Structures are given as structure tokens and as C-alpha cells.
Amino acid sequence: MVTGARVLIASRVVEQRPVALARLVERGCRLIENPDGSRDGRSTLGRLLESADALLVGTQSIDAAMLAQTPALRVIVKAGTGVDNIDLDAAAMRGIRVAATAGANAEAVADYTFGLLLAAARRITDADRSVREGRWERFTGADVHQKTLGIVGLGNVGRAVARRAAGFEMRILAVDVQYDNAFLQEYRVDPVDLDRLLSESDFVSLHIPFMPLGGHLLNRERITRMKHGSILVNTARGGLVDEAALYEALCDGRLAAAALDVFEQEPPRDTPLRTLLNVVLSPHNASYTAESMNHVADTAVEMLLALLEDTQEDKAG
């Protein structure tokens, strides 16, 4: 039991699932009420956090200045993948434990990734637009079957994408910092360096966290190394890709198409990528299925409860 722990829910994924909220209450948590009905504003979130022992957060930024005003906070759980919206150094300095529901939405994101890949390769959005506008055109796309897929990041989502690619009899290349050799062998995945992956892949799919100090993973130089006529799919983080360089590569024909679920700025109001018909655009939607959101919410709640219990034991000890 975590009797009396004050929990702030700042994730719509969890907030909209009564069963998950009831689980917290059943285990002795007190949910912090928000009479304003919104937790998106920085000032509102900061004010509510002042009395919180634990935070269940979505995509809101939790920085050092905000954490400095949280004397009781000891646990943060991100309902989603990646913790780039949380200042981990500041949290560590204050003894706040941070976790995320990595893998809880992996299958949903992998499904969506392949959906975007197919939409870009076969020009499905162009065909849809044509019929809706009263035309009847044929659009020549590119095969996916037996083509080469380069997966950057072979974690939970990357492996799930590889499993789907195997069904299309694709040649699969991958780059990561470490590999599961049994998985590589079972799905015939070739571990390679990034330059080789970019130069040989017909499709490149990104599945790594954003690294703020490392700049763009796909900067102008690396985009020029990509195979001519290839297609980029990004369901990871918008900051991985130099959008200006991507726009140029799509305009001059080096890349045939791109499918993007994430952007450097969200929503992407000013990006010229919105003007291109060879780009499939999506509003950071890859994980949004009913089943996935339920799983993320349940996982986040269980992680939060476990961490609260651990911190209580540490304090007692």
C-alpha cells in the first residue's frame, strides 16, 4: 500500500481511463484535484506539482525550474516511450526516480510505422485524394516486397517492425548500440553501420530516442548519403531529422518520399514539408489505439505504485 501518497495525473492517456485511476485509489493514493480542468499550462502544472509526491506525465516539459518547486516529489512516470521531456539530471539531483512505459505501445507503433511505409511507397494518400476530388487517376508507386529496410534502433519498436518486414520477405539491415544475436538470426537481420544502412536501404525507419546534445541524426550530410529514390519513415522523434535538408532532398528527387509522424516543432505550423505531396503527414499518432492506450495506462499505474512502494521502503530503512 502507498497510503496517503499524493499523485498528480498529467497524462490524458491515464486520465481518461477510470479503471487505471481506480487502481491508484484502491492502493491508497490521493489524486490531486485540478479545479481549472487543464494541466497543459506550465503555471498550472507547476502549481499542482508543489504538493505532489508522484507525477504521471505525458508529453509536457518537466524542467529543472519546475522540479525546483516540488519539495515532496519523489517519483515521475512517463506514460509513453522516451523521457526527453524530463530533465533527468535535475531529477537525479533531487533524488526523484524517473521511469517510462517503454515497450507498452511497441506493437501499435510498429503497425503504424508499416502503415506509413506502405502509404508512402504505394502513394495511397494520393489515390485517396484523387477519388475524393472527383478524379480517377492511377499512381505508380514502389514495391515493398523483397526490398531493403534499414531500421535505426532495434529496441522494442524496431524489433516489432523487423518482424513485420520479415513477412514481406524484406532484406533487413539494422544499426544499434547492442544486439540480440538470437533475434538477428531468427529474422535474418544484418547489423551494419549507419553509413552502410543509409546507402543500401530502400526504406529507412527511425526508432531511437531523441538525443538533444547530439544534433540531428539525419543531418544534411547523412541525408545526401541515402540511397537515391529511398523513402524515410519517422515515428520516433522529430528532432532526429534536419527538416530543411529533408525538404531539399524531397524536392530535388534524392528521396522519393517521406512519412512523418513526428516533427521538430509540434504541431508543425511553419514547415515547408506540408506543401509537398510526396510526404505523408501524421499528428504524432502512432501509438493511439484503444488497446495500446489501455496497456500504457495500466503499465504506467503499476510502475508508479511499485516506485512509490520502493521509495517508502527506502525512507523506512
Active site residues: 237, 266, 284
At which residue does the C-alpha cell 528527387 appear? 253
Q: Give which of 265, 258, 277 is closest to 206, Cα–Cα.
A: 258
Q: Who contacts 260 (Cβ-Cβ below 8 Å, separation ≥6)? A: 232, 233, 234, 238, 241, 273, 279, 280, 281, 282
Q: How many CA atoms lie within 13 A of 192 on its CB side?
A: 20
Length of the chain: 317
Q: Give which of 182, 232, 229, 183 is closest to 204, Cα–Cα.
A: 232
Q: Are 32 and 8 in contact (CB under 8 A)?
A: yes
Q: What cell numbers appear for 2 in the block? A: 502507498
